[in-house]
C-alpha cells in the first residue's frame, strides 16, 4: 500500500449497516501513511460512533455543514484532498450525489471536490439492482467517479446476492493501484481502476520470502529476500477472486487478507513438504520464494563454540520445490517460476524453464537500480518457450498484476 503514503483522503460514510467497516478503512489508510478526514451523514452516526472514527483518523469528524461551534468549510476540504472515497455509499447518498441534492456535509464536499472520487456502494440486492440505483451509478460514472463494485454474499437482510460493501482491503488496494498508476488530483476520474475478477474460483499456491537454514540453536544461514513480491502476488490474486495458499518464509512482512491462507515456514525442507501437500489442489503455482539451495549437513544441538582456526561448514543440497512440483504437474496446472540472472539472462531462464517444467519465468535483473531484493519496485521480463515480454520498472503491487495477467492467459480453460 506504499502509494497511499502522504495522500490526503476524505472518507464519506453514509448510513448503512456496513458503516462499521469504515473503521477498518480509516485504520488501513492511516497505517499506510495517508492523512484522513472523515465526513459522516446523520444516518451514519446511528451505525458507528463519530468518536471511533475521529480517534482512528486523529481528526474531528464532520457531520454537518455548520455545527454549534463553527462553520465547516466544505470548499476548503474539497480542495485539500487527493481523493474522496464514499464508503459505504447507500442508495440515498448515491442518489443525492448523482442529483446534487446538497443536504449534508458529505454531499456539499462531494460537489466542491476537484479530486478523483471513489464510491463503494452497500445495500440490499433488490435495491442494488433497481433501475433507479443502476441509473444513479451510471450517472456518477459519467461524471468520472470511480465505482468500487459491490461484493456478492450474505446481506444484512438475510438475502444472498450482490450488494455487500467491497472488503476494506479491496477498497484500499483499488486506491493504492490508482495512485500507483501515477494518477493524482489533476486527472480526476480519467483512470480505470477496476481489478478484474478473473481468478474467481481458482486456487493458487504461492511461495514467498527467504528460507532459513539452522546451524545451531542460535545461528542460521539466510538471504535478503523480504517476501514482498510474493505477498503482493497473493494479495493481488485474492483481490482478483482467487483462494491462495501462501507459504511464507521468515520475514517481518505479513498479510491478513481474506482469501489468503497464510502458512509460515522456516526451512527449505519445511516449505518443500508443505508445497507438495498443497500442490494437488492448486490450478496454478507461483514460486517467488528465495529458497536456500544448501543447508548445513548437520545442525549442532549446542551453540557452536569458536576455536582458533577457521570454521568449516559442510553444506548439502536442499530439495528443489520447483522441480518437484514441475515433475508432478498435471495438464490443468500452470507453474510460474522466478529467476535472477547476471549473464545470458534469457538463455539461462529458458534452460530453467525446461528443467523445472515452468510455463513461464519471471526474470529479475539484479543490475537494475530499484529492482528485486529489498526494493518496493521491480522490473521484470516474462520469458516463456516462444517469447520474451519486457515490462517497465513499477511498484511490486503493479508488477503482481502484470504477472497475474500473464498467468490468466495461460490458465487451462478446463480448470
Ligand atoms: N526454487 C525452488 N526450490 C529451490 C530453489 C529454487 O522452488 N530449492 C524456485 C525459486 O522459487 C524460483 C526458481 O526456482 O522460482 C529459481 O530457480 P533457481 O535455480 O534457484 O534459480 P536461481 O537461484 O536464480 O539460479 P541459480 O541458483 O541456478 O543461479
pLDDT for residue 190 is more than 60: no
Residue nearest to atom 17 of ligand 1 (CA): 339
Q: Residue 290 C-alpha to ligand 1 middle, in angstroms?
A: 7
End-to-end CA distance of the chain: 31
pLDDT for residue 2 is more than 90: no
373 falls within a domain: yes
- The 10s digit of each residue's pLDDT in 28-44 is 999 999 999 999 999 99
- The 10s digit of each residue's pLDDT in 16-27 is 999 999 999 999
Residue 392: band (very low, low, confident or very high) from pLDDT cuts 50, 70, 90: confident
Same domain, 224 and 339: yes
pLDDT for residue 66 is more than 70: no
pLDDT for residue 150 is more than 60: yes
Same domain, 217 and 117: no
Same domain, 214 and 164: no
194 falls within a domain: no
Collapsing DSSP to helix, strand or coil, 347 comes out as helix
The C-alpha atoms of residue 92 and residue 38 are separated, in whole angstroms, by: 19
Helix (H) and strand (E) counts for the chain? 14, 21
Q: Residue 76 C-alpha to ligand 1 middle, in angstroms?
A: 54
Reading the block at residue 18, the C-alpha cell is: 456496513
216 falls within a domain: yes
Q: How far is CA 111 from the centre of its chain?
A: 30
Q: Which of 356, 361, 380, when mutated, tests ligand 1's pocket best, judged by the most ligand atoms within 8 Å of its CB?
A: 356
Task: Tell me the pTM.
Answer: 0.64
Same domain, 323 and 208: yes
Phi, psi dihedral angles at 200 (to 5 degrees): -55, 130
The C-alpha atoms of residue 44 and residue 25 are separated, in whole angstroms, by: 15
Least Cα distance to 181 among 10, 229, 173 occurs for 173
- The 10s digit of each residue's pLDDT in 317-353 is 999 999 999 999 999 999 999 998 888 999 999 999 9
Same domain, 118 and 154: yes
174 falls within a domain: yes
Residue 185: band (very low, low, confident or very high) from pLDDT cuts 50, 70, 90: very low
The C-alpha atoms of residue 389 and residue 369 are separated, in whole angstroms, by: 19
Rounded mean pLDDT, 90-103: 96
Strands 334-340 and 203-208 turn out to be unpaired
Residue numbers annotated as active site: 223
What does the DSSP 8-state code read for residue 194?
P
**Angstrom distances, CA of residue 159 to CA of 29, 123, 151, 155, 303:** 31, 11, 13, 5, 61
The confidence score (pLDDT) of residue 188 equals 39
144 falls within a domain: yes
Q: Map grid coordinates 526474470 to a residue.
A: 363
Same domain, 232 and 356: yes
The confidence score (pLDDT) of residue 415 equals 54
249 falls within a domain: yes
Taking the alpha carbons of 228, 233, 236, 239 in that order, is the dihedral positive or negative? negative
Q: Residue 287 C-alpha to ligand 1 middle, in angstroms?
A: 9
Taking the alpha carbons of 219, 224, 226, 232 in that order, is the dihedral positive or negative? negative
For the CA of 319, the closest atom of ligand 1 is 8
Domains in the chain, number: 2
Same domain, 354 and 213: yes
What is the edge-to-edge ordering of all strands in the sheet holding 117-121? 35-40, 8-13, 83-89, 117-121, 146-147
Same domain, 148 and 80: yes
The C-alpha atoms of residue 409 and residue 243 are separated, in whole angstroms, by: 18
Same domain, 371 and 239: yes
Phi, psi dihedral angles at 22 (to 5 degrees): -65, -25
Peptide bond just before 88 cis, omega within 30 deg:
yes
> Which percentage of the chain shows pLDDT scores above 70?
91
Mean pLDDT of the chain: 90
The confidence score (pLDDT) of residue 368 equals 66
189 falls within a domain: no
Rounded mean pLDDT, 213-228: 94
Residue 414: band (very low, low, confident or very high) from pLDDT cuts 50, 70, 90: low
The confidence score (pLDDT) of residue 64 equals 75
Q: Which of 247, 318, 338, when mutated, tests ligand 1's pocket best, judged by the most ligand atoms within 8 Å of its CB?
A: 338
- Residue pair 188/158 in contact by the 8 Å Cβ criterion: no
Ligand 1 pocket list (CB less than 6 A)? 207, 268, 287, 289, 291, 293, 318, 320-322, 337-340, 352
Phi, psi dihedral angles at 68 (to 5 degrees): -55, -40
Reading the block at residue 369, the C-alpha cell is: 537500480
Reading the block at residue 85, the C-alpha cell is: 472515497
The confidence score (pLDDT) of residue 178 equals 87
Residue nearest to atom 1 of ligand 1 (CA): 322
Question: Any idea of the CA torsion for 380, 382, 388, 393, to the nearest 10 degrees?
Answer: -20
- Residue pair 209/229 in contact by the 8 Å Cβ criterion: no
The confidence score (pLDDT) of residue 302 equals 97
CB atoms within 10 A of CB 312: 5
Domain that holds residue 128: 2-180
CATH number for 221? 3.40.50.10300
308 falls within a domain: no
- Residue pair 289/249 in contact by the 8 Å Cβ criterion: yes
Same domain, 355 and 393: yes
- The 10s digit of each residue's pLDDT in 278-312 is 999 999 999 999 999 999 999 999 999 999 999 99
Same domain, 141 and 219: no
Least Cα distance to 171 among 26, 376, 5, 8 occurs for 26
Same domain, 175 and 215: no
The confidence score (pLDDT) of residue 335 equals 98
CATH number for 6? 3.40.50.1950
Amino acid at each position: 500500500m506504499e502509494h497511499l503514503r502522504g495522500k490526503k483522503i476524505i472518507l464519506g460514510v453514509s448510513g448503512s449497516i456496513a458503516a462499521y467497516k469504515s473503521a477498518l478503512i480509516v485504520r488501513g489508510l492511516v497505517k499506510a501513511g495517508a492523512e484522513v478526514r472523515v465526513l459522516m451523514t446523520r444516518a451514519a452516526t446511528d451505525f458507528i460512533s463519530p468518536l471511533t472514527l475521529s480517534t482512528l483518523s486523529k481528526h474531528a469528524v464532520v457531520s454537518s455543514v455548520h455545527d454549534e461551534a463553527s462553520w465547516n468549510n466544505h470548499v476548503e476540504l474539497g480542495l485539500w484532498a487527493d481523493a474522496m472515497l464514499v464508503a459505504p455509499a447507500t442508495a440515498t447518498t448515491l442518489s443525492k450525489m448523482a442529483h446534487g441534492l446538497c443536504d449534508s456535509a458529505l454531499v456539499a464536499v462531494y460537489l466542491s471536490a476537484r479530486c478523483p472520487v471513489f464510491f463503494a456502494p452497500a445495500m440490499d440486492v433488490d435495491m442494488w439492482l433497481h433501475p433507479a440505483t443502476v441509473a444513479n451509478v451510471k450517472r456518477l460514472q459519467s461524471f468520472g467517479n470511480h465505482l468500487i463494485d459491490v461484493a456478492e454474499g450474505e446481506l444484512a437482510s438475510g438475502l444472498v446476492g450482490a450488494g455487500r460493501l467491497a472488503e476494506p482491503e479491496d477498497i484500499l488496494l483499488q486506491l493504492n493501484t490508482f495512485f500507483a498508476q501515477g494518477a493524482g488530483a489533476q486527472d480526476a476520474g480519467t483512470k480505470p481502476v477496476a481489478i478484474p475478477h478473473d481468478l474467481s474460483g481458482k486456487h493458487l499456491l504461492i511461495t514467498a520470502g527467504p528460507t532459513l537454514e539452522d546451524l545451531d540453536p542460535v545461528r542460521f544461514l539466510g538471504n535478503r529476500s523480504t517476501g514482498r513480491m510474493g505477498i503482493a502476488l497473493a494479495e493481488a490474486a485474492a483481490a482478483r477472486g482467487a483462494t491462495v495458499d501462501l507459504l511464507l518464509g521468515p520475514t517481518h512482512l505479513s498479510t491478513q487478507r481474506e482469501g489468503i491462507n497464510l502458512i509460515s515456514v522456516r526451512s527449505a525442507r519445511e516449505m518443500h513438504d508443505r508445497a507438495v501437500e498443497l500442490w494437488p489442489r492448486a490450478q496454478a503455482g507461483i514460486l517467488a520464494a528465495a529458497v536456500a539451495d544448501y543447508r548445513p549437513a548437520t545442525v549442532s544441538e549446542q551453540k557452536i563454540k569458536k576455536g582458533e582456526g577457521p570454521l568449516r561448514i559442510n553444506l548439502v543440497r536442499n530439495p528443489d520445490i520447483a522441480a518437484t512440483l514441475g515433475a508432478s504437474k498435471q495438464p490443468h496446472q500452470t507453474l510460474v517460476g522466478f529467476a535472477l540472472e547476471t549473464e545470458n539472462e534469457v538463455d539461462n531462464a529458458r534452460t530453467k524453464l525446461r528443467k523445472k517444467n515452468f510455463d513461464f519465468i519471471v526474470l529479475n535483473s539484479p543490475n537494475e537500480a530499484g529492482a528485486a531484493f529489498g526494493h518496493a519496485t521491480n522490473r521484470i521480463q516474462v520469458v516463456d518457450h516462444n517469447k520474451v515480454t519486457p515490462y517497465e520498472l513499477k511498484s511490486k503491487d503493479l508488477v503482481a498484476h502484470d504477472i497475474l495477467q500473464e498467468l490468466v492467459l495461460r490458465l487451462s480453460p478446463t480448470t
